[in-house]
């Protein structure tokens, strides 16, 4: 008789229910669905596995669940062929398995950068007995918050510790969005680690998980404390300025806190470490320019946006603040929304003097007056002009020119240039003062009316207008005249990539491991963390613990 493959768990997908349906009823529906297929359910445990909102029809908004059914003691398990015939998916929880190498490590690993990539890389190395040294040019979470608050209050920018630099990286001052489309099994490890470090339990359930900046700060600090407790070392206000390679393969890192000997270096500097890119070019590492996106932040009243997307169901606790992702690739350039922050604020994200950069942030509750998102336009490498003979430096210069133009348009005092959507769509005028929708940047007190065209190239403005009109056809009211545009959003991703090989080492540079978003291999918290895990795996597969 043919032996059938069995498994202990199965996914029951597509349990669609009306808003407000209690969880026990969702689980009961999943149980009935499995029972109808002829699968015994007497010794099964059912729990929620994933939840999403289907708001395509405002008159009939649905919650869509995936339920995990697990065989308990006394149940023979599921026959996989029977599951598949019934429309269910066999499910296996895969353990994170590591290969351990034998090559001696000539010194402790040095991880440069405390964003998601650096944090997860250092955490995994510490957990496996490698005693990493983790450095960042910025401050610890608490001191970083004070630096940012001081900048908001009096406009004094700390170029070493700000929204871009410091413990947790740029993600510390964000919505803590964990949605990713990379489809890597390591995503589960990342979510579960964040949960274990203090993130809400539901990040492993929601289809669009988020932590919130207020909670994420605690998570980051807990992770840093764990690295130290596992034998790692954390050094703040420590910028990597150069390095020397020695004959035995080890390095000396030249930093603002003195020389640090190390066996290998993980470069996870974040997407704004422009001086680091220049230093790496001078050290003759191979870098290349890459496409980016630039644009503006759009702000609506949260209540207006909730009504646009949820209609009469707006405000229901099962739905929360409305989210969206919109895109159009039919115009001259792709235009899309990015990093949407429901019930959040536009934040001052500059890291260089005399520049203005905007980003978005929400707390866990997402209960702010406004909701905001980036509207970004695709920029090609052919849009860059070489600087000092280098297209890599030209890519950085492209961003910097826009940021300096925004600084000037905003009044040259770190105020933000704003324009209503009505004025922007009407042409280049900026005459209408904010009314129903007030700018949230730096508490709403530091803005100046200025046309978007004073900050962004004309072809970007043309694509933004095209995108706004396209998005308004998809979400009626999106391009309402009272909505506010704030410039400039330029840090959607790194403008360069540090080339690395299949061994995860920089090309021609054994022992140097480019990592994460700043190295050009990720985009967002989860994908950057996953890349940090990948790099740690490569290091562990090669070297023995000290």
> Exposed/middle/buried for 380, CB within 10 Å: 0-12, 13-18, 19+?
exposed
Domain presence at residue 321: yes
Cis before 111 (ω within 30): no
CATH number, domain with residue 26: 3.30.70
Residues facing 109 on adjacent strands: 264
**Three-class SS state of 315:** coil
**Three-class SS state of 111:** strand
Cis before 488 (ω within 30): yes
What HEC string does 181-228 produce? CCCCCHHHHHHHHHHHCCCCHHHHCECCCECCHHHHHHHHHHHHHHHH
Do residues 259 and 176 share a domain? yes
CATH number, domain with residue 179: 3.50.50.60
Q: Express each pLDDT in 433-486 by its tens digit.
A: 999 999 999 999 999 999 999 999 999 999 999 999 999 999 999 999 999 999
Give the per-residue pLDDT at 143: 96
Do residues 400 and 515 share a domain? no
Give the per-residue pLDDT at 242: 98
Do residues 253 and 335 share a domain? no
Name the token pair of 375. Answer: 């509207």
Q: Express each pLDDT in 292-317 by its tens digit.
A: 999 999 999 999 999 999 999 999 99
Residues of the chain predicted below pLDDT 50: 1-2
Domain presence at residue 104: no
Do residues 393 and 428 share a domain? yes
| Domain finish residue from 473, 489, 505 | 489
Do residues 44 and 124 share a domain? no
Q: Report how far Cα 128 is from the mean position of its chain's Cα atoms.
A: 26
Residue range of the domain that includes 47: 6-91
Do residues 360 and 402 share a domain? yes
Domain presence at residue 375: yes
Domain presence at residue 425: yes
Give the per-residue pLDDT at 1: 38
Q: Express each pLDDT in 44-90 by its tens digit.
A: 899 999 999 999 988 899 999 999 999 887 777 888 888 988 899 99
Give the per-residue pLDDT at 81: 87
- Which DSSP category does 457 fall into? -
Do residues 60 and 166 share a domain? no
Do residues 356 and 413 share a domain? yes
Give the per-residue pLDDT at 509: 97
Which residue from 67, 51, 66 is spatially nearest to 19, judged by alpha carbons?
Answer: 51
Name the token pair of 541. Answer: 């597969």
Do residues 154 and 188 share a domain? yes
Give the per-residue pLDDT at 59: 87
Domain presence at residue 97: no
Do residues 380 and 412 share a domain? yes
Domain presence at residue 99: no
Q: Return d(Cα 496, Cα 67) in angstroms, integer.
A: 41
| H-helix or E-strand spanning residue 337 | strand 335-341
Give the per-residue pLDDT at 4: 66
Domain presence at residue 101: no
- The total of structural domains in the chain comes to 3
Domain presence at residue 98: no
Give the per-residue pLDDT at 229: 98
**Three-class SS state of 513:** strand
Do residues 233 and 325 share a domain? no
Do residues 28 and 78 share a domain? yes
């Amino acid at each position: 008789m043919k032996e059938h493959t069995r498994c202990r768990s199965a996914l029951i997908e597509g349990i669609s229910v009306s808003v407000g349906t209690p969880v026990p009823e969702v689980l009961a529906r999943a149980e009935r669905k499995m029972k109808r297929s002829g699968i015994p359910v007497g010794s099964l445990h059912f729990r929620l596995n994933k939840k999403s909102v289907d708001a395509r029809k405002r008159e009939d908004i649905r919650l869509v669940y995936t339920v995990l059914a697990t065989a308990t003691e006394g149940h023979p398990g599921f026959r996989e062929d029977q599951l598949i015939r019934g429309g269910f998916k066999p499910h296996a929880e895969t353990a994170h398995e590591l290969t351990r190498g034998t090559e001696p490590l000539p010194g402790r690993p040095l991880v440069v950068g405390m964003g998601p990539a650096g944090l997860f890389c250092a955490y995994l190395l510490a957990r496996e007995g490698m005693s990493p040294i983790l450095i960042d040019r910025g401050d610890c979470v608490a001191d970083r918050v004070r630096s940012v608050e001081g900048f908001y209050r009096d406009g004094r920018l700390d170029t070493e510790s700000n929204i871009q630099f410091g413990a947790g990286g740029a993600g510390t001052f964000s919505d803590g969005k964990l949605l990713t489309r990379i489809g890597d099994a390591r995503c589960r490890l990342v979510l579960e680690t964040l949960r274990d470090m203090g993130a809400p339990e539901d990040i492993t359930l929601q289809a669009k998980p988020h932590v919130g900046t207020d909670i994420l700060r605690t998570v980051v600090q807990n992770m840093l404390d764990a690295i130290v407790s596992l034998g790692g070392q954390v050094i703040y206000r420590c910028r990597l300025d150069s390095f020397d390679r020695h004959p035995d393969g080890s390095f000396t890192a030249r930093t603002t806190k003195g020389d640090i000997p190390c066996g290998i270096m993980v470069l996870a500097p974040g997407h704004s470490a422009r001086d680091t890119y220049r230093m790496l070019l001078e050290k003759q590492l191979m870098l290349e320019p890459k496409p980016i996106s630039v644009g503006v932040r759009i702000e609506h009243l949260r209540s207006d946006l909730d009504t646009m997307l949820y209609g009469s169901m707006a405000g229901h606790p099962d739905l929360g603040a409305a989210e969206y992702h919109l895109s159009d690739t039919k115009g001259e350039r792709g235009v899309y929304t990015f990093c949407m922050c429901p019930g959040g604020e536009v934040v001052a994200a500059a890291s260089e003097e005399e520049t203005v950069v905007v980003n978005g942030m929400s707390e866990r509750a997402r209960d702010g007056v406004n909701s905001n998102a980036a509207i970004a336009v695709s920029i090609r490498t052919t849009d860059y002009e070489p600087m000092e003979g280098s297209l890599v430096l030209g890519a950085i210069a492209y961003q910097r020119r826009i940021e300096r133009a925004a600084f000037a348009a905003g009044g040259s005092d770190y105020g933000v240039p704003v324009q209503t959507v009505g004025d922007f769509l009407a042409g280049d005028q900026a005459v209408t003062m904010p009314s129903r929708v007030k700018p949230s940047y730096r508490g709403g007190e530091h803005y100046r009316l200025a046309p978007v065209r004073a900050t962004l190239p004309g072809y970007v403005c043309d694509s933004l207008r095209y995108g706004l009109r396209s998005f308004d056809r998809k979400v009626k009211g999106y391009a309402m005249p009272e909505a506010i545009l704030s410039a400039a959003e330029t840090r959607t991703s790194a403008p360069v990539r540090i080339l690395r090989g299949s061994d995860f080492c920089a090309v021609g540079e054994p022992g140097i491991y480019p990592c994460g978003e700043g190295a050009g291999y990720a985009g967002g918290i989860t994908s950057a963390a996953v890349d940090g895990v990948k790099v740690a795996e490569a290091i562990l597969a090669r070297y023995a613990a000290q």
